[in-house]
């Protein structure tokens, strides 16, 4: 268990990381807008909503639970982070249950995927045959389908179902190779630059604050200030 001091240091690092991650997300959203400017289908259109509903029958694309509005969230198959470099575009946006969305983040946050080439595919590849017994994602899938044969079959079916859905968006399929090859490197640099900028600016502002505070303290040491209105 972490002591209080280590928890504070961890929280400070997370705060800086959150800023960098937000900048990466902003970049990916802006890039998504530019990329899809001439696309026939838009993520926010009724047409795309119908395609998603029809393809997955109002069910989570991962566990195939029936979606209830209060339990469903927007899901990016390729996560919108510096490692997965996903975009908010047709073919990458679905609706999933909140549990699967949270569980999938473990794969999305890995620098290198070992089970598959994409975060969503890696998530569905945790069938218990290639990971160590302590794997949390494998444990999650066991809680959904206890029977090993059924679990492997369901996960395999959902892999095929999602891949089939993605393949219907030719515009997305065309840009996908360049996204996976080029963007992670660029986003990692953006993330590192943002971290460095934040640390430099924080240090500079702290130094300025200390200088101003020191001047103020020296001024106050000469005696009490006089309110101009009393003159």
Packing angle of the helix pair 170-221, 4-35 (nearest 10 deg): 130
Q: Does residue 82 belong to any structural domain of this protein? A: yes
Q: Is the pLDDT of residue 71 over 90?
A: no
Q: Does residue 196 belong to any structural domain of this protein? A: no
Confidence at residue 223, expressed as pLDDT on a 0 to 100 scale? 53
The two tokens of residue 48 are 């795309």
Q: Rounded CA gap, 56 and 162, in Å? A: 9
The two tokens of residue 193 are 């630059």
Q: Is the pLDDT of residue 103 over 60?
A: yes
Greater pLDDT, 68 or 170: 170
- Please state the domain count of the chain: 1
Q: Does residue 201 belong to any structural domain of this protein? A: no
Share of the chain above pLDDT 90, in %: 71
Q: Rounded CA gap, 148 and 127, in Å? A: 8
Q: Does residue 139 belong to any structural domain of this protein? A: yes
Across residues 196-216, what is the average pLDDT? 85
Query: Containing domain of residue 111, as a range?
Result: 16-183
Concatenating the DSSP letter of every residue in 161-230 gives HHHHHHHT-HHHHHHHHHHHHHHHHHHHHHHHHHHHHHHHHHHHHHHHHHHHHHHHHHHHHT-PPPPGGG
Confidence at residue 49, expressed as pLDDT on a 0 to 100 scale? 92
Across residues 115-123, what is the average pLDDT? 97
Across residues 157-164, what is the average pLDDT? 97
- Reported residue count of the chain is 231
Confidence at residue 213, expressed as pLDDT on a 0 to 100 scale? 82
User: Which segment of 13-17, 77-81, 144-148, 152-156 scores lowest on mean pLDDT?
Assistant: 13-17
Q: Does residue 150 belong to any structural domain of this protein? A: yes
Q: What is the pLDDT of residues 180-202, one digit of tens each?
A: 999 999 999 999 999 888 888 88
Q: Which residue has the tokens 């679905």?
A: 94
The two tokens of residue 100 are 């699967």
Across residues 34-63, what is the average pLDDT? 94
Q: Does residue 8 belong to any structural domain of this protein? A: no
Q: Does residue 119 belong to any structural domain of this protein? A: yes
Q: Is the pLDDT of residue 124 over 60?
A: yes
Q: Is the pLDDT of residue 227 over 60?
A: no
Greater pLDDT, 6 or 57: 57
Q: Please report which confidence band the pLDDT of residue 3 belongs to, taking 50, 70 and 90 as the band edges.
A: low
Across residues 203-215, what is the average pLDDT? 85
Q: Rounded CA gap, 82 and 202, in Å? A: 23
pTM: 0.82
Q: Does residue 4 belong to any structural domain of this protein? A: no
Q: Rounded CA gap, 51 and 91, in Å? A: 10
Helix, strand and coil in the chain, % to nearest 5: 65, 5, 30
């Amino acid at each position: 268990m972490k002591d209080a001091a280590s928890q504070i240091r961890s929280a400070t690092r997370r705060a800086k990381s959150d800023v960098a991650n937000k900048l990466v997300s902003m970049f990916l959203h802006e890039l998504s807008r530019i990329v899809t400017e001439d696309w026939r289908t838009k993520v926010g259109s009724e047409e795309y909503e119908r395609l998603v509903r029809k393809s997955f029958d109002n069910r989570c694309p991962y566990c195939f639970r029936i979606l209830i509005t209060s339990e469903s969230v927007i899901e990016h198959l390729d996560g919108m982070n510096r490692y997965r470099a996903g975009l908010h575009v047709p073919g990458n946006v679905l609706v999933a249950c909140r549990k699967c969305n949270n569980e999938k983040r473990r794969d999305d946050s890995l620098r290198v995927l070992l089970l598959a080439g994409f975060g969503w595919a890696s998530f569905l590849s945790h069938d218990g045959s290639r990971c160590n017994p302590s794997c949390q994602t494998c444990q999650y899938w066991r809680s959904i389908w206890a029977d090993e044969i059924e679990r492997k079959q369901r996960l395999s079916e959902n892999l095929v179902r999602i891949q089939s859905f993605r393949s219907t968006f030719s515009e997305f399929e065309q840009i996908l190779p360049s996204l996976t090859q080029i963007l992670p490197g660029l986003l990692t640099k953006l993330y590192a630059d943002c971290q460095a900028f934040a640390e430099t600016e924080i240090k500079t502002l702290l130094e300025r604050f200390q200088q101003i505070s020191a001047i103020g303290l020296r001024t106050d040491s000469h005696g009490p200030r006089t309110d101009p209105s009393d003159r």
